[in-house]
Structure formats: structure tokens, C-alpha cells
Structure 1
Amino acid sequence: MRKKWLGLGLSVILAAGIAGCGGSGNNGNGGAGNGKSDGSTGAPSAETGAPIQLKYWTDDRHDQEYIKELINKFNETNGDNIQVELTVMSENYTQSVDIAFSSNQAPDVLRLKSANTSEFVKKGYLAPLDDYLTDDMKTEFGSLLIDNVNRFDGKVYSLANTGLTMRLVYNKDLFAKAGIEKPPVSLQEMVDDAKKITEVGKSEGIYGFALNFKNPKQAFDRSIREILSLSGYQGLGFDLKTGQFDFTPYAQVIEYFKQMYKDGSILPGAESLDIDPLRAQFAAGKIGMYLSFSTEPGVYKDQFPTEINWAGALAPTLDGQIKGTSEIVSAGTWLGISARSAHQDAAWKFVQYMYGDEVLKTYHEKGFGIAIVPSIVEQAKNPEIGGMEGFLVGEHDSLWPAAPSVTPEGSTYADAFFKYILDGGDLKAVTADLNARYNAALSKAVEKGEITVTPDPAFDPSKPQGE
């Protein structure tokens, strides 16, 4: 399966017109310590006495114990008097990064994801890595350089590590208690199953469904995105065939979510629920199912150990038919260096250490993410971790082309749809308003040259990789 995924991933990149190896014309000698020559990057020196202090910020919690181990090892062995301090942020990571940069307290190294890299580059937060990349690194990671994901205007700002699959996470024991034989394959089945679980478990504080609705966008992006891509639609509301936003399919899914809310099948207080408290409730056997990423097996191994009998399965689709593929997300970025760091050379030494083969291989084998770097795919074993078998890349998983990121005037799609779930209203009007505002923002971004959109009338959602 790993070799099949390797071929699939490479064909996606070729189909998207992505260039292969190469950065932005640097001389290829790269390596640690060959950054800017004006002295502003703070080249490490073991002779200065005081250690060079680096701050690394991340919003990942599922892998924090492993990352702590890696940082401790680096701090003890790097030989350049560099000390890295890890900060694991809460759900307001992007906002915290904005505040840090505006107050000159930015970290030196940042965890980057597909959802934030573009904005961070536009805001000038990130330093290009091209002058640091060695020939070996260009060979190893070059086929995974994706325009508008980790490469912008010919400059590389991050390298790939893993991708995340998305699945329905469900409690097998609660399903059995409610007389449900298998996970739902359609949204109507999901609604019905959530109601059944709630009916048999409500007296014990058990409910059929939950999501981290404290942040509606994060909740929907780990659930509706998956449902839509398997149903044959781009999961963030963008129509790849027309090159326009169309939230009509999104609205169809929202109707089912609203029904679960109306039925009382959603865990009470979910409106203010963050992802970790949700996981704690699931580990305690209080939630029948939710949708999330392939980070969950690691969470229930280390962060919230549980004795419940749980598993991951493909998400349900709109009508029970699989007409697309499950999108593998966050598959182009991992670490980046702050453009404001006074110690960019030292930061690169840490980043280069983190991108070492043994680190990436172990990251995959421990189940923190699914490796997509070809050389790591070839040598890594399948993760031996409970529940991971339901998240491994299979025939229904693939990469999708990147959708444009725009900021509309007024509320976002997540806030508007979540308000509808809670308060009701005219869903057609809500959808039409979102389409108008998002396409207006898209037009403005295209006119300013910030975004390039090319409609693909022949796009096939069952083969987004172009095979």
C-alpha cells in the first residue's frame, strides 16, 4: 500500500502542473550556516558562552510528547550551543502568531499547515529556505514542492513531512449497545445512528455525535470537508470545474447536521467545546462518533489513553455512494523559519535536524501522520498503534488540487452555516449570500494578482490525481 500511495502522490503533483526539483536558482551548496551574509541571521557559535535561545511554536498536540523528546535530544547534542523551547498553542494559533509578530515577540520556528502558510507568506512572517537547501534535500523533497502550498513566487518556505487522512471516529461498544451493526455510509444513516445512540445512552450522559464547535471552521474542516470530497465535491466550497465558489453542496450537508442538533443527538455544550475536551469525552465513552484526522490514534495512545473499543471508518457521503475520493490534507508543509528571527542560521540547524530521515520515519511509524516523502515511504513500516488501521491510505484516498483562500466581507461560511444550525433561517438565502460574497472576494484577489484561478471543466472528482 505504501508504494501505491507513493505513485499516487507523485501523479497528483504532475497533474497539477507542479515543477519537480529545484528551488529558486540557488547554487545548490546550501546546508546549515550558509544563510544571509549580512550577519542578521545570528549564526550559532559554541564560543559565545550564552546559548542561542530559539522558540518553536506549534498548534499540534497529538505529537507533543514525541516532539519534546526530539527537542530535548537536539538541545543536549547539537554542539552549537542552541537551545529550543517548545510552546504548544491552543486553538487560536493563527491569531497568536499575528499578535506575536505585531508585538515583535515572534517565535523563531513555526509549525506550518496548508491553511495558514499562504497568509503567513503574504504577511511577511516567513523566511525562504532556498539558500539553505542542500542538493540531497532538493532530491529528497523536490517532487513534493507545490505552488501555493509550500512554494510561493518560486521561493520555498517549508518542506513536506506527512499528510492527514480524515475519517469517522466511532465507539464500537456504543454502536453495539444501540443495535447498530456498522458505521453509517450515508448522512441519513449518521443522523439515525446518532439518534439511536442518544436514546439508549442519554441517561448516562452519552450522546450520538459531537464536534469542536467552539471553532466552527475547524469543526467543519475536519468533517464536512471529508464528507463532500467523498461525495464528489471540493470540500471547502470551491467548484474546481467552474473556478467559482458554490456552497450549495455544503448546504446539503449542513441540513443533516442541523437535524442532529434538532434531535438532541449532539453532546450538550458542543457550542463551546474545544477539540481536546471533546477527545476526553470520547475517551470516557460519552460520544458515539465524530469526524477527525489521522492524528486521533496517537491522541488515544498518549494524550487520552482509553479502554473503549473504537475505530476509524470512511466518512458517510450525501447519499451513501462514493463519487469522489477522501482528501489527504496538510500534505505539503511542516516547519518554517520566521523572517523576524535574529537567529535564522541556528533555526535552520534545528529545522534540518527535524527533517532528518530517522525523525520523519519514526514520526510515521508512531502514527502521528502518514509519510508522503518518497524516501521515507520506502523505508517506514506501517504504524503499530491501536486504531491506525482505519486511517491508513487506501483506494479511496488521494490529494486534491488546492482551493483558493479568500477573505470575504462579513461572516465566513463556517460562522454563517453554524448560525443556521443553531438559529435556523433561510438556508437558500444563506448559501446565495455566501456565494456572492466569496466570489466577490475571489474576483478582487484575482484582479490584484494575489490569486490565479483556472477553471477545469473536465475535472473528475473520482480521479483528482488525474490518473
Structure 2
Amino acid sequence: MTRQQLRRRGRLLGVGATVAALLATAACGGPDTPGGGTEGGGVGSEGPVTVWTDSGVDAQLVEQYLSDWAEENGVDLTVEHQVGNEYQQTIQLALQTGNGPDVFAGNRTNVLIAAGYVMPLDDFVTDDIREAYGDLLDPPQTYMSGGSLYTLPSSITTTRLAYNRDIFTAAGLDPDAPPETLGEMREACEAIVAAGDASCVGVPLNWNGFATWYVDRMAASSDDDLTVQGAFRLSEQQYDFSVYEPVIEFFREAVAQGWAYPGASSVANDIIRTEFAAGNIGMVMSASWDVGELNEVLNTEIGWSASNIPVPDGAEFVQNLGSSGGGWAINAATEAPETAGAIVMALASPEVAEMNAAEFATMPIRPDVEMPDRDDQLLDYAPTDTDNPTLNSPVAGLAIQGETYRDVLTALVLGDEEIAPALQELTDRYNAALDEAVEDGSVNLADYAGS
């Protein structure tokens, strides 16, 4: 299978052309479009509209942008910020009880889509938007289901191996030649630990994201047929956890040999990031948001860089799996669908992507939006043709019997059980659950088909 890759292109359009086209379409409102075919329908004539944002750093920018947009287009608009760590539960409860907003920040919407709470965007997407996004609107994508588009992402979080250049130099390692394989990581760990008091690598097992952000991405760095949230092969539409074996072997060895930061079983990622910033860890898996966290929040004084995710020995690097984000969704029960559609298209404009990129160091997912000029490590995370948005496995629709793959991976890193048989047992259980989910309709494999 060939994954659709991000390509950097010249700027194609401005927000004015995009929204103007949508407003014109909405004003006509054909009978086959949501909210269309009703007398007096269209943007600005459907009554008040509410938009919910999560507590992300761009919330204030979104509010100001939509305030100006609403004034220009005669829309009675309210923006509400949902503060706290339970945004997903908050929006789900609001939608279930009929109290949801018209438009909401729509990351991780697969459960909401399956429950019928999210309106497809297909009838609102203009030709300009389709041209600008290009292959990113071809299934399978995490923001699509049944061939329909449910959110339009505005950014991509890229992933890399972050490493401390000072620790590398002190260990006699070349800071301009970071490890490219797990074998080279082992060699670096031996040198780093032998040279001083620093730990070689962070292994945050007390973090729910360890499997997804560490193991999944290391396994997929040499295999573009894999999803995250479990090693699901898109071409075969089956789970294959055997690909985790060399990654688990490395982390098990790192813990056993004392290369890992102490207390792996109880350490969360926030601690690992803090200790890396303090100069106590040589290498960590990282994402583009870590640039701001390390440099501006933790005020690190270390010299550090980021490089491609290492691959298993004997494999060839093919990709860094990132994560698409910043999408916006429409409540399927909204009484103002045309206005909601126009809002989502406006928020997907290059203007908004450029503002977010400049103000908050987010990576624009639109191929026609360029990265702003920077003089820090964010350049190490700039999207290239080997950065791909993740595709999720069907795990959300499965009724797993026994331990989850996250629990099994943690136990394997910390224990001495044979890795290959344990991963085979995991593969068998997940594929059995997948077969049941396909049979009862909980999972539609067409949403996870490779191309």
C-alpha cells in the first residue's frame, strides 16, 4: 500500500474566495444539502449559533477570528471555551442530552460519528478546499468514515527522536549523527551511561500514550502499512503485533541495563520531558509541541536537536507518523447547518492555518500553507514528504477479551516473558474481536482499507 504523503505547494487561495463561494452556495441551499430547500434558509438567517473550543492554546485566536467573521457575515455567534482535561466526555454528554453546540472542536470523533452525533461535511466543502487539501481528503483518514468527511484538520503534529547534543558530545558521540536504528540507540546508550550520570532514554510506562507515541511509531517508522492504536495492517485488514518485537526488546533491555530513566513503571511523560529539559536524559520520543514546552515553558538551557525516528535493525526508514489535529465538527442536530458549515470552512482556511502556525508553532496540514520562518528546533519538525498523518486501527469498535495491547506491552517491557508468543496471543485475540465486530456491524472495514 502507498500512504498519501504531505506535499508542500504554493499558496492556492485566500479565505475570502473560499468563504464567499460557500456563502453563495448556502444562500441558494439546494434540496439535497443539509438545511437546503427551506424558504429563507442560509448563512446568517438560521438563528444564533454556538461554537465550543477545547482548552487548546489557539482558543483565544479562534474566538477573535470568529468574532470578526460573524460580524462581517451577519451571524449571531457565541464562542464558549470548555476548560479542563475532560473535553471529550463533556462534548459527548452534551450531544447525548441534546445540549451540544452547533460546531465544536472535533478531535477523536470516531465514537461520536458512530453514534450519529456528527454531520458529514461533504456538502459544504468547496472545490477550492478540495483542491487545496488534495490527497488528504482521500480515504482512509482518521477524520473520515464510510467515505464521508466529518472534520477538516488544520494542523499536523510531527514526531521525532529528540536528543541532548551536550550529552552526546560528552559521551564521545557525534551530535550531528544521531541514531538511525535501534542497534545504534543501544550503542549510544552504552556510551552515555558509561560517560556520566545521565540516563540514556526515557521510558514513560506510566503514561497511556507510551504504546501509541513510542511503540506504535517506532514500529511504523519502517512500515507504512501500519496504523497506530494497535498494529493493524491496512493492506490485510488484520492485526499483526509481531512487528512490535524489536521495539519491545529494546525498551526491555533499556530498563534492565539501567539505560532508562529510573522508575520506568511509575514515570509519566511529563516527568520524562522535564528531566530531558533539565539535562538528565539523552534521548526521548517527542512531538512538535515539545519545542514550545521545552524552550518556553520549561526554559531548558540544554543544546538539543531532533531527528527521524529510529528503525529496527535491518529495516529502512520510510516515515515519521504524526497526528492530524485542529479539526472542527458539526452537531448533527444543529438547527443552523448552513451557518455551521460556513464556520467550519472558514476555520479550515489558509488564513487561520497561517495565524496558528505563526502564533503557536503549529504545523499546517494544508499543503498550500508554508511554515513560518523560525530559528529554533521547530525546523527539525517541519513536515517533509516522509511525514504522514496517522491512521487509527478499528480498536474503538472492538470488545477485547482480556488485557489490552497497552497493558501487554507494558508487562513485556518490565518482565521476562517470551515476547514473540505473547505478541502472537495478542494478535489472535484482537483479530477474533475484529471478526466479531465486523460481523455485528460495529466495524466497517471499508473505513480502514489501504490504497
Question: Which bin holds the TM-score, normalised by the shorter protein?
Answer: 0.7 to 0.9
Quick one: which of 224, 229, 250 aligns to 2:215?
224
Per-residue CA shift, 1:131-159, capped at 9, x if unaligned?
43345434434643233423323432112
Q: 1:436 Cα shift?
A: 0.8
Read off the aligned partner of 1:71 and give its amino acid letter.
E
SS at match of 1:170: strand
1:211 deviates by 4.3
**Match 2:242 to one of 238, 245, 248:** 248
Find the counterpart in structure 2 of residue 288 from structure 1: 282
Please list every run of 5 or more consecutive structure 2 residues that lacks an aligned counterpart in the other structure.
10-21
Q: Which moved more, 1:206-215 or 1:396-405?
A: 396-405
From 252, 258, 268, the equivalent of 2:252 is: 258
Residues in 2 aligned to 1:32 and 1:137: alpha-carbon distance in whole angstroms: 19
Cα distance, 1:244–1:5 mapped onto 2, change above 3 Å: closer
- Which of 395, 419, 422 pairs up with 2:414? 422
List per-residue Cα deviations over 1:372-402 (Å, max 9, x = no partner). Answer: 42432xxx24541511222233464456776
Provide closer, same or farther for how the CA distance between residues 178 and 324 of structure 1 changes in structure 2, counting only shifts above 3 A. Answer: closer
The amino acid of 1:133's aligned partner reads V
For the residues of structure 2 that align with 1:73 and 1:304, how far apart are their CA atoms? 29
* Counterpart Cα distance in 2 of 1:442 and 1:323: 30
Match of 2:119 among 127, 132, 139: 127
Q: 1:288 to 1:134 in 2, by over 3 A?
A: same
Match of 2:17 in 1: none
Distance in structure 1 (CA, Å) of the matches to 2:95 and 2:24: 31
Where 2:54 maps in the other structure, the secondary structure is strand
What is the alpha-carbon distance in structure 2 between the residues aligned to residue 195 and residue 101 of structure 1? 53
**Shift of residue 105, structure 1, vs aligned partner:** 5.8
SS at match of 1:375: coil
Q: Provide the residue aligned with 1:186 in structure 2.
A: 181
Q: Quick one: structure 1 residues 102 and 211, their matched pair in 2 at CA, closer, same or farther if it must change by over 3 Å?
A: farther
Partner SS, residue 119 of structure 1: helix
1:239 and 2:236 aligned: no
The 5 A counterparts of 1:390-401 are 390-394=380-384, 396-398=386-388
Aligned to 1:452: 445
- Matches of 2:206 and 2:89 in 1, distance apart? 15
The residue aligned with 1:158 is 151
2:378 maps to 1:388: yes
What value does the CA root-mean-square deviation take over the aligned residues? 4.0
8 A contact 2:171–2:192 mirrored in 1: yes
The aligned runs of 1:209-220 (5 Å cut-off) are 209-216=201-208, 218-220=209-211
Cα 1:7–1:363 shift into 2, 3 Å: closer
Contact 1:165 1:326 in 2 (8 A): no
Q: Secondary structure at the match of 1:285?
A: coil
What's the counterpart of residue 332 of structure 2? 339
Q: Conserved in 1, the CA contact under 8 Å of 2:154 and 2:325?
A: yes
Matches of 1:416 and 1:314 in 2, distance apart?
27
AA at the equivalent of 2:163: Y
Residue 353 of structure 2 aligns to a residue whose secondary structure is helix
TM-superposed CA distance for 1:424, in Å, is: 3.6
* Residues 400, 339 of structure 1: alpha-carbon distance in 2 compared, 3 angstrom cutoff: closer
Change (3 A) 1:108 1:172: farther
**Matched letter for residue 221 of structure 1:** T
Higher mean displacement: 247-256 or 130-139 = 130-139
Contact preservation (8 Å) 1:325, 1:398:
no
Residue of structure 2 aligned with 1:354, choices 347, 352, 356: 347
Shift of 1:175: 1.9
**Cα separation, 2, equivalents of 1:32 and 1:302:** 48
* TM-superposition CA deviations, 1:341-368 (whole Å, max 9, x none): 6766665454333222211123345574
Cα displacement (A) at 1:69: 2.8
- Structure 2 residue matching 1:317: 3-state secondary structure: coil
Deviation at 1:170, TM superposition (A): 1.0
CA distance in 1, matches of 2:93, 2:405: 24
| C-alpha separation in 2, matches of 1:392 and 1:253 | 25
Q: Judging changes above 3 Å, is the alpha-carbon distance between structure 1 residues 56 and 266 closer, same or farther for their aligned structure 2 residues?
A: same
- Alpha-carbon spacing, 1:192–1:97, altered in 2? closer, same or farther (3 Å): farther
* Residue range with higher mean Cα deviation, 259-268 or 77-86: 77-86
Counterpart contact for 2:63–2:79, Cα < 8 Å: yes
- Determine helix, strand or coil for the equivalent of 2:406: helix
Structure 1 305/246 Cα, relative in aligned 2: closer, same or farther at 3 Å? same
1:6 partner letter: R
Cα-to-partner distance string for 1:152-203 (whole Å, 9 max, x where unaligned): 234321123233332101111122223322422221332343354345554x
What secondary structure does 2:152 align onto?
coil
Q: Conserved in 2, the CA contact under 8 Å of 1:226 and 1:326?
A: no
Unaligned runs of 5+ in 1: 9-25, 460-465
Post-superposition CA distance 1:98-124 (Å, at most 9, x none)? 4554566655544444xx333331122
Distance 2:412 2:234 in 1: 26
Please tell me the residue identity of whatever aligns with 1:359.
V
Secondary structure, aligned partner of 1:329: strand
Relative to the length of structure 2, the TM-score reads: 0.77
For the pair 1:36 / 2:28, whether they are aligned, the reply is: no
User: Does the 8 Å CA contact 2:193/2:259 hold for their aligned counterparts?
Assistant: yes
Equivalent pairs, count: 418
- Report the CA distance shift for 1:311/1:413 in structure 2 as closer, same or farther (over 3 A): same
Cα contact 1:112–1:334 (8 A) shared by 2: yes
Matching residue of 1:85:
80
How has the CA–CA distance of structure 1 residues 56 and 399 changed in structure 2, closer, same or farther, with 3 Å as cutoff? closer
Q: Distance in 2 between matches of 1:32 and 1:57?
A: 33
C-alpha change, 1:28 and 1:438, in structure 2 (3 Å) is: farther
Q: SS at the partner of 1:279?
A: helix
1:7 Cα offset (Å)? 7.7
Question: Would the aligned equivalents of 1:165 and 1:294 in 2 still touch at CA under 8 Å?
Answer: yes
Could you tell me how far apart the structure 1 residues matched to 2:91 and 2:193 are? 39
C-alpha deviation, 1:437, in angstroms: 1.0
Q: Residue 462 of structure 1 aligns with which residue? A: none
Distance 1:303 1:345 in 2: 40
What is aligned with 1:6? 7
Partner residue of 2:293? 299
TM-score, structure 1 length as denominator? 0.74
Distance in 2, matches of 1:177 and 1:287, equals 13
Give me the whole-angstrom Cα distance separating, in 1, the residues matched to 2:151 and 2:130.
12
Query: 2:279 & 2:333 partners in 1: Cα distance?
Result: 45
